[in-house]
Amino acid sequence: MNKIFDAVYYVESSDLGKAYNPVAIQPKFFSYKTRNYSEQRCEWLDTDRGAYFYYETANFIDENSEKVPPRQFKLIGENEEEITFTYLTTKLFKEKVADKVGGSLKFSQDSEIQNYYLEKFSKKMHEE
């Protein structure tokens, strides 16, 4: 499975010892397979350096089409760590993210928050 979701997500890990940036931008999925080796990796942009996670299982909720990103997905790693990605809405931003990001960002619509992060950070990362 090689795919990209052109969306912004809130990230949570079941491993309290691991701290991921709460904002994941454009998650990308890669699968590598050879005769003796295989791995699955998800990598994403964030407001810093980006991140990646090797997983064994991916569960997608509300993945209806190629054009609409899923509302939520969960990745389970080999050590049973589970990372949950939830489509970032204004409500979720206010509840879980606003106090963790710099500045006093305020959004009135879900599309505003999606566009802000996609335009600001995905362009910046691709220019570097």
Give the chain's domains with CATH numbers. 3-127 (2.30.29)
Average pLDDT along the chain, 128 residues, taken 10 residues at a time: 89 90 95 86 93 94 76 93 97 93 88 95 58
Beta strands in the chain (DSSP E): 3-4, 8-13, 23-33, 38-45, 51-54, 57-61, 72-76, 82-87
- Euclidean distance between CA atoms 121 and 57, whole angstroms: 28
* Residue pair 58/35 in contact by the 8 Å Cβ criterion: no
- Euclidean distance between CA atoms 10 and 84, whole angstroms: 8
Structure confidence at residue 14 (pLDDT): 93
Structure confidence at residue 128 (pLDDT): 47
